[in-house]
Amino acid sequence: MSSELFARIVHARCTEKVLAEEPLPASGKSLANEILELAAWAPFHRPANDVHLQDSELKALMPWRFYVLDDSACRQLREELMEKDSSNVMRMLATADCMVQVTWLPNPPQTELPEKILFEASLENMEHLAAASAAVQNLLLAATANGIRNYWSSGGVLRSPEVFDRLGIPTQEILLGSLFFSPQDVQSGTIATSKLRDKRGPLTGWVKRVHLS
């Protein structure tokens, strides 16, 4: 593999929110399985807890799940949510060829969690979440390498129990992000990028080489 090519892909990945008020035409476009499969090659330390595997159609050991909507499903979900939401999520569902709801699979808590605490702060959970994040990055890089615009969103309304229910996502899974994949030709849409992109600064801000004498 060429390391220059890999570096080019890593640098080229960039938040691109493709926004439009009027939906772009949909015809069943989505992400190919060959692209989705690259996400599976992320490292993961432990199998997901059995509670997520029993009674589930999705049986893989990895501690993440991807729920993939093609462009027609994106337009339909937009229609259904328009009454309750007017955020950019609606404008992105209007343009996306594909939207992926990525969840990760927390271990069942040992004790009852206080309200608003999403999961138990254990090492195992940290590692499940880290593995799922690595899978997301693989997918974003794969999309970039294939000329597909992409964006990792926190999800907004797509985190709601109503959307989980509508998409058939088990309530015990936690949304890690809603990933939007958009075409190169954005037609009447506009592209918004991230304000943080150029704020990373040099290596010296986050790398310390440790010397032991």
Ligand X SMILES: Cc1cc2nc3c(=O)[nH]c(=O)nc-3n(C[C@H](O)[C@H](O)[C@H](O)COP(=O)(O)O)c2cc1C
Footprint on this chain of ligand X (rule: CB under 6 A): 14-15, 152-154, 177, 193-194, 196-197
Question: Positive or negative, the Cα torsion across 172, 176, 177, 181?
Answer: negative
Helix axes 123-145, 3-12, angle to 10 degrees: 100
Smaller CB separation from ligand X, 26 or 127: 127
Give min distance, CB of 52 to ligand X, in A. 21
Give min distance, CB of 11 to ligand X, in A. 9
Tokens representing residue 202 in the block: 């040099």
Interacting residues of 50 by C-beta distance below 8 A, sequence separation 6+: none
Give min distance, CB of 99 to ligand X, in A. 13
Contact 43, 130 (CB under 8 A): no
The strand pair at 149-153 and 190-192 is best described as unpaired
Give min distance, CB of 28 to ligand X, in A. 27
Smaller CB separation from ligand X, 44 or 104: 104
What letter represents residue 154's amino acid? S
Tokens representing residue 197 in the block: 């992109």
Smaller CB separation from ligand X, 1 or 196: 196
Smaller CB separation from ligand X, 86 or 194: 194
Interacting residues of 61 by C-beta distance below 8 A, sequence separation 6+: 44, 47, 48, 53
Give min distance, CB of 74 to ligand X, in A. 17
Smaller CB separation from ligand X, 44 or 152: 152
Contact 181, 152 (CB under 8 A): no
